[in-house]
Amino acid sequence: MDNKIKMQAKNVDFFYGKTQALKKVSLDVYSHKVTAMIGPSGCGKSTFIRLFNRMNELVPHTTLCGEIFLDDLEINNPLVDAVDIRRRVGMVFQKPNPFPKSIFENISYGLKVNGIKNKAFIEHKVEDSLKKAVIWDEVKNRLNDSALKLSGGQQQRLCIARCLAVETEVILFDEPCASLDPISTAKIEELILELKKEYSIVIVTHNMQQAARVSDCTGFFLLGELVEFGKTQDIFTAPKDKRTEAYITGRFG
Amino acid sequence: MDGTVRQIYRAIISMMNMPRFKEKLYKWIFTILAFASLFFLVGIVLVLIKEGLPIFQKVSFSEFIFGRYWYPTYNPAEFGILPLILASIWVTFGAVMVCLPLGVGSALYLNELAGPRQKAVLKPIIELLASIPSVVFGFFGMVVLTPFLQEIFHLPTGLTALNASIILGIMATPTVCSIAEDALNYVPNAFREASFAVGATRWQTLIKVVIPAAGSGISTAVILGMSRAVGETMTVLMVAGGAAVIPHTFLEPVRPMTAAIAAEMGEAPIGGGHYHALFAIALVLFVITFLFNIVAELISRRFRIKLGLSG
């Protein structure tokens, strides 16, 4: 793969208290590609993705060893502010989590906390983000309604729009379709393929078909280890490791 | 032979019925216990109405509520409770000024900033404040706060509305803190994560997401704190100063409704105008606290719906 590396994890160990959740994980995320992480529950893939925007800092009693780079910046450097990292690396969560505010405010929130006050710009940006997240037509007439009135699939696209509004460079998807029906899932997958033109995307998923459909590269996690990482096509057609093969052919997991 | 069989049969039947009888008995006992508080509530309200209403044969309702002079033992007596109502309002308002920052501030600290170990120590301590008897608070106000206020404001007496406000505010703090902390706890972590994920700082998350989401819960906390302050008697009796005149500043002695009832009930001849007037004051007080509680309940219901917790 001759693409530019956007994010890079080098020898990452991660602990919850004394329990080791990740063991020496190294992985590259390429620019304008979708990188998928698969593996059974509890394998550490969600923990891993949350390291890319320093989300695990919010969990008490955790320890991280190793390095994670965003371009050339080591993001855990004490001189780097987590807030700045999160402005460049956005995240969409497993369960749609819109704020209990209006649809408009959900999107404008990210702009406002980043110090943007120009009303016209905010309005333009809200519309633009909702259009990119393919939800504009469904909500354009009720931007002032509570976001909690939307369906689960709509809420998740709203959360994606919220992420797009702050113009991040990377978007992390932590099992974005876990609580959605197949039609909403298909819409989100379509959206991810569209978004990779402008963003670098990392997605954690339980669903192997989903990884096969949307991703360019895939990493297979097992018990905190990255067992295998490579082109999605290779992982699914010619896995090098026996454990990967066993997992993708459905022998466990 | 036939009789014996019947007797045995009856004994068996009654034994079989025993558990069911017991069950019924228990059910009745608990039903009665559960309705006892309703019975007491209705009983108290009826007594208040019965003993309070006769005052309106002597003075009109508006003279009673808006009358500026409370001279119940003069001849002719004057039964205007406006000074008492205003005293209660002033003192309660002052108490809110104290318990709002103290209670909500400590709730925010406990929930958002304190580590689990700190919280495990601090929360019980704050709640312990609620278990101090009100007479001890009053005592504290008299002995510590009074000379202090007297000195810094150069007052003839330190027993003032300000003194009562401060003490009541401290007394209401554990209530406010505890309920506000629960409200903050109910704010799903997903909201915080969502906010951090778009690059909000801790402070922005707190101000723009967490507090608005817990807003009605926090208002409920404050209203319940107010209802505690407005009904508190012993403390205001001891530190508010007791002057039944319309207050102009916080540095004057006042006589809130509760203090008036407590101080005067013992001396009011049963069945006289003064006696009925005190009951009518109690009725007014009851209505006020009742309204506070209803408002608190309505707000907290809206809060649960807003967060999608339950209908």
Q: In angstroms, rounded to a whole number, what is the distance separating the alpha carbons of residues A214 and A232?
A: 9
In a domain, B137, yes or no: yes
Residues in chain A within 8 Å Cβ distance of B115: 60
Size of interface A-B (CB pairs under 8 A): 75
What's residue B158's pLDDT? 87
> Are B79 and B49 members of one domain?
no
Residue B195 contacts A, CB cutoff 8 Å: yes
CA A168 vs CA A85, A103, B17, B19: distances in Å:
9, 20, 74, 69
pLDDT band at B297 (very low <50, low <70, confident <90, very high): confident
Is the distance from CB of A87 to CB of B204 less than 8 angstroms? Answer: no
Q: Please enumerate, as own/partner, the contacts of B97-101 that have beta carbons within 8 Å and a separation of 24 or more.
A: B97/B165, B97/B169, B98/B165, B98/B166, B98/B168, B98/B169, B98/B170, B98/B172, B98/B173, B99/B168, B99/B169, B99/B170, B99/B172, B99/B173, B99/B175, B99/B176, B99/B222, B99/B225, B99/B229, B100/B176, B100/B222, B100/B225
Can you give the pLDDT at residue B306? 66
**Range 205-244 of B in CB contact (< 8 A) with A:** 208-209, 212-213
User: Nearest CA to CA, how far is B191 from chain A (Å)?
Assistant: 6
* B27 and B138 part of one domain: no
Whether B21 and B127 share a structural domain: no
Question: B162 and B42 share a domain?
Answer: no
Cβ within 8 Å of residue B273, ≥6 positions away: B55, B58, B72, B77, B79
For residue B250, is it within any domain?
A: yes
Q: How confident is the model at residue B217 (pLDDT cuts 50, 70, 90)?
A: confident
Binned at pLDDT 50, 70 and 90, residue A190 comes out as very high
Q: Look at B188 and A97 and tell me if their CB atoms are within 8 Å.
A: yes
For A163, nearest residue in chain B (alpha carbons): B198
How much is the mean pLDDT over chain B?
A: 90
**CB count, 10 Å around CB of B159?**
24
Residues of chain A with pLDDT > 70, as a percent, come to 99
- Please name the residue of chain B whose CA is at the shortest distance from the CA of residue A112: B200
DSSP state of B111: I
- Secondary structure element (H or E) that encloses residue A11, with its range: strand A5-16
Average pLDDT over residues B270-285: 94
CA–CA distance, A44 with A226 (Å, rounded to integer): 9
For residue B202, what is the domain's CATH number?
1.10.3720.10
CA dist., res. B144 & res. B154, Å (int): 16
**Domain co-membership, B82 together with B17:** no
Verify whether the Cβ–Cβ distance A100 to B201 is below 8 Å.
no
Stronger pLDDT, A186 or A3, i.e. the higher one: A186
Band (pLDDT 50/70/90 cuts) for residue B53 is very high
For residue B120, list chain A residues with Cβ-Cβ distance below 8 A: none
Between chains, do A87 and B198 touch, taking CB under 8 Å as contact? yes
* Minimum-distance CB partner of A166 among B193, B199, B209: B199
Task: Mutation target for B interface from A59, A81, A113: give the one with most B CBs within 10 A.
Answer: A113
Q: Which of B112, B189, B198 to mutate to test the interface with A (most CBs of A within 10 A)?
A: B198
CB B52 within 8 A of CB B190: no
Question: Which one of B18, B35, B57 terminates a domain?
Answer: B57
Does the CA dihedral B82-B83-B88-B91 come out positive or negative?
Answer: positive
Examine residue B47 and state whether it is found in any structural domain, yes or no.
yes
**Rounded CA separation A116/A125 (Å):** 11
Q: What is the pLDDT of residue B260?
A: 95
Mean pLDDT of A116-130: 94
Nearest residue to B90 (alpha-carbon basis) of B36, B163, B31: B163
B214 part of a folded domain:
yes
Residues of A in contact with B199 (CB under 8 A): 83-84, 86-87, 110, 113-114, 166
pLDDT at B309 (0 to 100): 53
> Using 50, 70 and 90 to split pLDDT, how confident is the model at B310?
very low
Same-domain status, B43 and B147: no
Per-residue confidence (pLDDT) for residue A221, from 0 to 100: 94
Instruction: Check pLDDT > 60 for residue A2.
Output: no
In chain B, helix, strand, coil percent, each to 5?
A: 80, 0, 20
Are B73 and B9 in a shared domain? no
Rounded-to-integer distance, Cα B216 and Cα B299, Å: 6
In-domain check, residue B302: yes
- Total number of domains constituting chain B: 2
> Residue B152, class by beta-carbon neighbours within 10 Å (0-12 exposed, 13-18 middle, 19+ buried)?
exposed
Peptide bond before residue B76 is cis, with ω within 30 degrees of 0: yes
Contact, A48 vs A222, CB < 8 A? no
Of A91, A98, A114, the CB nearest to B197: A91
Q: Residue B311: what pLDDT?
A: 35
- Domain of B21 in residue numbering reads as 2-57
B39 and B116 in one domain? no
Q: What's the pLDDT score for residue B56?
A: 93
Q: What is the pLDDT of residue A37?
A: 95
Q: How many angstroms separate the Cα of A82 from the Cα of each of A76, A88, A111, A164?
A: 8, 10, 17, 18
Which residue type sits at A136? W
Mean pLDDT of A156-185: 92
CA distance B77 to B58: 10
> Chain B partners of A82 at a C-beta cutoff of 8 Å?
196
Evaluate whether A12 touches A48 at the Cβ level (below 8 Å). Answer: yes
CB contact under 8 A, A159 and B204: no
- Report the chain A residue with the minimal C-alpha distance to residue B202: A83
A55/B116 touch (CB, cutoff 8 Å), yes or no:
no
Q: Is the dihedral of CA A148, A154, A159, A163 positive or negative?
A: negative
Q: Place A252 in a pLDDT band, splitting at 50, 70 and 90.
A: confident
Same domain, B197 and B270: yes
Alpha-carbon gap: B107 to the closest alpha carbon of chain A (Å): 19
Distance in angstroms between the alpha carbons of the first and the last residue of chain B: 65
In the structure, what pLDDT confidence band is assigned to residue B181 with cuts at 50, 70 and 90? very high
Nearest to B241 by CA among B306, B293, B164, B183: B164
Cβ–Cβ gap B198/A55 under 8 Å: no
pLDDT for B25: 86
Contact A55 B196 (CB under 8 A): yes
Q: Are B43 and B70 found together in one domain?
A: no
Nearest CB to B198: which of A58, A84, A163?
A163
Closest CB to A86 among B116, B196, B307: B196
Task: Based on the fold, state whether residues B36 and B103 are members of the same structural domain.
Answer: no
Nearest alpha-carbon partner for A188 in A179, A177, A200, A174? A177
Contacts of A97 in chain B (CB under 8 A): 188, 190-191, 193-194
Say whether pLDDT at B273 is over 80: yes
With tokens 């019947």, the residue in question is: B6
Q: How far is B52 from chain A (nearest CA, A)?
A: 47
Q: Is residue B311 part of a domain?
A: no
The whole-angstrom distance between A109's CA and the closest CA on chain B is 8
β-pairing verdict for A19-30 and A5-16: antiparallel
Partner residue opposite B201 with nearest CB, options A55, A83, A112: A83
Question: Chain B residues with CB inside 8 Å of A60's CB?
Answer: 115-116
In chain A, what residues touch B306 (CB-CB under 8 Å)?
A: 100, 148
Task: Determine, yes or no, domain membership for B153.
Answer: yes
- Percentage of chain B with pLDDT > 90? 65
Give the pLDDT band (50/70/90) at residue B16: low
The answer to whether the CB atoms of A93 and B212 lie below 8 A apart is: no
Query: Which of B19-23, B24-28, B32-36, B91-95 has the least mean pLDDT?
Result: B19-23
Does one domain contain both B228 and B107?
Answer: yes
Contact status, residue B306 vs residue B186, Cβ threshold 8 Å: no
A159: Cα within 13 Å, side-chain hemisphere:
32
Is B191 within 8 Å of chain A by CB? yes
- The neighbouring-strand residues paired with A64 are A14
A110–B199 CB contact, under 8 Å:
yes
| Assigned domain for B140 exists | yes
Is pLDDT at B12 greater than 80 in this prediction?
no
Q: What is the pTM of this model?
A: 0.79
Q: Does B19 touch chain A (CB under 8 A)?
A: no
Question: How far is the C-alpha of B236 from the C-alpha of B161, rounded, in Å?
Answer: 9
Query: What average pLDDT is seen over chain A?
Result: 92
User: What would the pLDDT profile of A214-248 be if each residue is shown by its tens digit?
Assistant: 999 999 999 999 999 999 999 999 999 999 999 98
What would the pLDDT profile of B116-147 be if each residue is shown by its tens digit? 889 899 999 998 998 999 999 999 999 999 99
